[in-house]
Structure 1
Amino acid sequence: MRRWLPDLAPAVVAVALGLFLMANSVGEGDGAPVGLEVATGVLSTAGLVLFRRSHPVALMLVLLPFGILFAMPMGALPVALFSVALHRRGRVAIALAALHASLATVVYAVALGFTRPFYEGATFLVLLQVSVVAIGMLIRSHRQLVDSWAERARQAEEGQRLRVEQARLAERERIAREMHDVLAHRISLLAVHAGALEVRREASPEEQKAAGTIRQSAHDALEDLRTVIGMLRTPGEDKPQPTLGDVPALVEQSREAGAEVGLAFDGGDGVPEQVGRNAYRIVQEALTNARKHAPGAPIKIKISRTAEPGLTVEVGNALAASTSRLPGAGAGLTGLRERVQLVGGRLEHGPTPSGEFHLKAWLPWAT
């Protein structure tokens, strides 16, 4: 039923207005036969229901002569003109309104002469058409504005989704590059030990053959690893990956740049390299976010081991009240969440009741 209401409502308005005009015309004794009025009224109403949206201009042109000669179709003309203003450009609606007003004025002048009823009828007709066209154009502009806002919102959401996806992919690529260095080192050690076992004099021929197979397999694995990971590298990235021991140097760089950074380092011995690399990246991203969103605000960093095998990294900074926060896409935090989830850890971040931004990550490792 709700789908038909937008189509039935204009038809009801047209019928009600047509009946009012026909009643006045019959009362004055100058109207057309009632049967002909009803027939033209039914046809005009059916045209409104069927063609008001798809062919409003053609419908208006067809109704023009009937609306001038008969009372019932005259009630459908304002509705048809409103549909033109709603679904077509403003100049088209204005042109049709001017055409209708011109034709109706000529017919009224011939039928009534330049009398008071003529002036009253012409004035009412012009005011009605101006009102109908203005309301239709206003609604059409409002719809277009709402549609443009909806499209911008959709594009913004799509852009945000793409930025988040790019951040995840970038973080995965960076993790893959880091793992290349780790795996390359370990596989190289495996190849060296296998090579030493292969040339050992005390080893039996079977052991030497097995060691040779291990050495060759390790060599092939290194070549495959270099081929795959080499595509992810960009120029200038062939350098050692930072670890937990490089965090103090990172903090010192921020201090030299003017930031007030406090570092509490507890229990950093014996932390696996992979966990240390992840902790370094978390501190690095947290410092970047703090400089971006709260420049000049003090930053506190705490790195400590937990009872369950793992490392906790906490970074907090006071939000500077005098500095407007820059908008951000959240891509850095998305990358950190991706990194932490890949190693089975937990990441929490957000504002605190005390007016600070707090980031806490827990990174596990196997015992």
Structure 2
Amino acid sequence: MDRSAPYVWVQRRLTSGPHVTRWRVLALAVVFTPPLLGALSSPHTGFLHDRPTGIAAIVVLAVLSPLCRRYVDAYAVVSLVVFLVTGQTVCLAIALYAATRERRLVWVAVMMAVPSVLSLASPDSLIVHTSHAGFTLATNWLLTLAPVMVGIAVNQGETNAGLLADHEREEALLRESLLRERRYEQRDRLVRTIHDGVGHQISLMAVQSMAIAARPDTAPEVREKCGLIQDAGAGAMEALRNVLRVMKDDEADGPDGPDGLGEPEVSLADLDDLVSTYRQYGLDITARIDPNVDAGPASGTLLFQAAEEGFSNAVRHARGADVTLRLAEVEPGTVLLEVTNTAPDKVAADSALPGTGHGLGRLAAAVKAAGGALAAGPDGDGGYLLAVRLPIAN
């Protein structure tokens, strides 16, 4: 278990969240109810033995408590005065907490020292006292120590929460970097594959056509066709060289390439265009896209590719089925993209088009490298579900 978790829990309950008002009201009730009851039942403690004055002083202190951190010095003085009037150490609790939160160590020391001194010099002036001076000192010292410890815990929680947020941002940046590095590696492999595979095959076709054209028994019309093949091969090789040059320049100069050339970046902003394109292919798509989802460039590209893979599978295997795209931030720092399709009719299922068989595998590997998870398979109702869950930076 993370050792910082208790501090963060205390800090969030007392300073943020939907229940912060409830916690503060509860704290005020716990702090000021005992002094009011004490002023009613024991009006002769403190240095001013007057019940109405003691009650009024406690009420004023409670009313001013929302200003305790903005005016720490003034609230500490008022709290000390109310303590001396009533003799109730708990009246210093809010001021001690505020001084600790603002790191006013002098006021913390003064407000802890005054009750300790009175416990030894004039224990009868305190509402919490016994015939044993040591017990009186320990009791009042604990009453002042408790709010100080709560303030220290909240301060530590804020520090730990900040460190945790910094760590999450660093992890998000690292994931983005890994995604970009992976894209560059895939691009390099693609360059080698095109060069060694497609380029060689085009060269072989051109050489074979030249050999056929060079035979003395080759008919003129065949020789003419071989010339066309050679011209087409030369054009294909030139186009291939341009593609490889652009891809190499793109890798060297960044994702946009030189002068804006290179592979165009896609992001979540392009999802609407993707949905429109596949609707033109005949897919009946219902898009439920949360516009507030903000993923980084690399994560946005990966989510776009996941949606494209889901639509592509639906076109090949479930033509005529209803398709639903859902994109939402399901919890802070985690986004979920789902592509589901209903069961296709029998004709569409029997005439499914073949795919390469590698799309989902490559997508799953990329999602895993980004720290996410991919699930794909039948949804139990005859349809199909593709779900990608990715961490993103907030």
**In which range does the TM-score fall when normalised by the shorter chain?**
0.3 to 0.5
Q: TM-score, normalised by structure 1?
A: 0.47
Q: TM-score, normalised by structure 2?
A: 0.44
Larger Rg: 1
